[in-house]
């Protein structure tokens, strides 16, 4: 019976689950609530997971863009061409 308790602690779609670490990219409360209430693997669940995935990808692209701009700004300007 102890193994079932461990499994339920790892399932994010369980509504009674508490103590879940904060996600890297915050999810909209409506999406999170629906993810915890729909059946795993259902078409709606897969669509909600896709929404979260796209939000994550957009946030990571934005963070990467900011990082690249900061790196480029920190580099010394190139001197003229060496022909």
Distance CA 55, CA 60 (A): 9
Contact call for residues 35 and 23 (beta carbons, < 8 A): no
Res. 42: pLDDT tops 90:
yes
Those residues whose C-beta lies under 8 Å from the C-beta of residue 27, and which sit 6 or more positions away, are 35, 52, 55
Percentage of residues in the chain with pLDDT exceeding 90?
40
Q: How far is 31 from 53, CA to CA, in rounded Å?
A: 12
pLDDT one-digit tens code per residue, 30-41 = 988 898 899 989
């Amino acid at each position: 019976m102890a193994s079932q308790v461990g499994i339920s602690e790892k399932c994010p779609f369980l509504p009674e689950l508490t103590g879940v670490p904060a996600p890297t990219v915050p999810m909209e409360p409506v999406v999170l609530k629906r993810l915890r209430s729909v059946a795993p693997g259902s078409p709606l669940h897969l669509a909600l997971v896709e929404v979260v995935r796209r939000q994550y990808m957009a946030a990571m692209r934005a963070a990467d863009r900011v990082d690249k701009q900061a790196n480029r700004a920190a580099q010394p300007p190139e001197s003229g061409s060496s022909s």
